[in-house]
Amino acid sequence: MLKSKSKVAIIGSGFVGASIAFAMTLQQTVNEIVLIDVDKKKAIGEAMDINHGLSFMGQMSVYAGDYFDLKDCDVIIITAGVNRKPGETRLDLAKKNVSIAKSITSEIVKYYNHGVILVVSNPVDILTYMVQKWTGLPNGKVIGTGTVLDSIRFRYLLSEKLNVDVKNVHGYIIGEHGETQLPLWSATHIAGKGINEYCESPESKFVEADKAIIAEEVKKAGATIIKNKGATYYAIAVTVETIIETLLKSQNTIRTIGSVIDGPYGINDVAISLPSIINSEGVQEVLELNLTSEEESALMDSVEHVKAVLNEVKDI
């Protein structure tokens, strides 16, 4: 059940942060939302805009605040950061946003007294790891959105290709939220049937080459949206809202969130995304699925890629 009094803070009131606040308001996910931004006027304006629609949505407390308002938050969401500029590498972006996240984390630890910290800012794997280490919280108390959005993009594209309801499509994207992510075809099911079994039917019109096409479309989806409209924020807002709901209701939902991994699959000291059971305490358990040898190899490549970036930013 939802706590009788629940409070969520969103650090960063840009497109993503504001959209998350609006999504939570539409769903009445939480009792109290505090928006925190270095541009206080922006946070005030977003809170006002949302509040003016409450008559048609329900009673909530939505307001612009400061870091001292983090006290007693059930979830603290970090969306602040800069976007990558033309010609800028992912490493350049990582260095900038790690510096921003470090400053934010230093403020969080002053007022944090319980709850889960959810990292949304990119590069999310790097920032999830760093925030976990800076806060000194137990593994699983700091989580990232990881490949949750990638996984629902994967399910959507499969549903479109196979012409079935997306709610009957189950599958995961794991590893890095980025270039080295991988789909778990061995764990992809349509209404209980493995993807290969389901697609034995001639009516499916799904061939092996389609797998590579879909995997690539998932990987490039964010860049395609940014090219067309400048930023992505609706789907990630819905993604975060569902994560917040499972945290507040302690639903023990399985999501491919990112967290610092120490042990599963022989992976240690890196934050990547794996199917995990999450509840009000954060990560309850990281699930170890039976991967094919190809999937296991690709996962390890993804781990090494993330570690290489971490090695470049750890001393910031």
pTM of the model: 0.95
Dist CA 191 CA 36 (whole Å):
42
Can you give the pLDDT at residue 1? 46
pLDDT digits (tens, 9 = 90+) for 91-130: 788 889 999 999 999 999 999 999 999 999 999 999 999 9
| Domains present along the chain, CATH in parentheses | 7-144 (3.40.50.720), 148-313 (3.90.110.10)
Query: What is the band of 87 on the pLDDT scale with cuts at 50, 70, 90?
Result: low
pLDDT digits (tens, 9 = 90+) for 264-308: 999 999 999 999 999 999 999 999 999 999 999 999 999 999 999
Dist CA 62 CA 34 (whole Å):
6
Query: What is the band of 142 on the pLDDT scale with cuts at 50, 70, 90?
Result: very high
Instruction: Using the predicted structure, report yes or no on whether residue 86 has a pLDDT greater than 70.
Output: no
Dist CA 149 CA 256 (whole Å):
9
Q: Which of 114, 170, 177, 189 is catalytic?
A: 177
Q: Percentage of residues in the chain with pLDDT exceeding 70?
A: 96
In three-state secondary structure terms, 36 is: strand
Helices and strands: H and E segment counts in the chain? 9, 16
Dist CA 125 CA 309 (whole Å):
10
* 170 is an active site residue: no
